[in-house]
Amino acid sequence: MYKKIIAFLVFGLFAYSCATVPLSGRRQLSIVSNAEVLPLSYDQYGEVLKESKILTDTPEGRQVVTVGRRIASAVEKYLEENDLSDITKGFAWEFNLIESEQVNAWCMPGGKVAFYTGILPICQDDTGIAVVMGHEVAHAIANHARERMSQGMVANGLLGGLQAAMGENPSLTQTIFLQAVGFGGQVGMLKFSRDQELEADQLGLIFMAIAGYDPREAPIFWERMNAQSSGQRPPEFLSTHPGPERRIDQLNEQMGKALEYYEASGR
Ligand SMILES: [Zn+2]
């Protein structure tokens, strides 16, 4: 009986507190708002920057910033044209290159991006960086961390929203947030679901194309990433992502649409 009531409550909550992911159209659970999550995200990003060596004045550092800004403008343009600008309300885009051997990159809620120098040899050039940038930014646009946080709160019976949860159990709520943005374990290890990863690929492909980067490079990038992982130690970036064949198939399925956006970009 108890279980039935919980199932009913969760179902009711889902029907009531739902958001729609742009481009994919998927409905997702969302019981926390950006207004609540973004301050937590900005604090956490600040902590990471404090603990890291940031390469601001190197050619690579500037390259990451340049590609990041171009992708962010493409995203804003897409959202504006589709009357979805609310999605990035309160965003404070920022792009930083961190010196680290880790093959990794991520984007926290609100557009706070970090690239690790370890991923640049696989990116090779601006277009390779744009593949990763598009994918990571897509996680933020699709509100994947907020979705995971909502799921974590529901799973822990915190159904009253973030303010109430913070009052009820602040340390558990903080832990759920850190896990949702990938800082529950090792720093920078994002733990999105496989479906969220494929969705980030789907959105990221379109975003890079709107920004004028050739989307046909995306599957080629993932081939390189795959080759890298056949070494002794798979890169962290791959350990939390879906199998390379599945993601390359999906990218190729969506290439026609991406190429339309690429051609319209006029680059
Ligand atoms: Zn991802």
Task: For residue 1, report the distance from its CA to the centre of ligand 1, in Å.
Answer: 38
> What does the block give as tokens for 190?
């994002």
pTM: 0.88
Nearest to 67 by CA among 41, 93, 48: 93
**pLDDT of 216-247, one tens digit each?**
999 999 989 888 766 545 555 666 567 778 88
Q: Which amino acid is at 254?
A: Q
Nearest to 193 by CA among 151, 231, 235, 236: 151
Task: For residue 200, report the distance from its CA to the centre of ligand 1, in Å.
Answer: 6
Task: For residue 142, report the distance from its CA to the centre of ligand 1, in Å.
Answer: 11
Is residue 136 among the annotated active site residues?
yes
Q: What is the pLDDT of residue 176?
A: 83
Q: Which residue has 């509100």 as its token pair? A: 143
How far apart are the C-alpha atoms of 179 and 160, rounded to whole Å? 19
**pLDDT of 80-129, one tens digit each?**
999 999 999 999 999 999 999 888 899 999 999 999 999 999 999 999 99
pLDDT mean across residues, the chain = 87
Give bridge partners of residue 95 from the DSSP assignment.
113
Task: For residue 4, report the distance from its CA to the centre of ligand 1, in Å.
Answer: 34
How many other CB atoms are there within 10 angstroms of residue 143's CB atom? 23
User: What residues have a C-beta under 5 A from ligand 1, the ion?
Assistant: 197, 200
* Percent of the chain whose pLDDT exceeds 90: 56
* Percent of the chain whose pLDDT exceeds 70: 85
> What does the block give as tokens for 197?
């990863």
Task: Measure Cα distances from 36 to 63, 95, 139, 152, 178 in Å.
Answer: 32, 22, 18, 15, 14
**pLDDT of 45-84, one tens digit each?**
999 999 999 999 999 999 999 999 999 999 999 999 999 9
Q: Catalytic one among 81, 94, 136, 223? A: 136
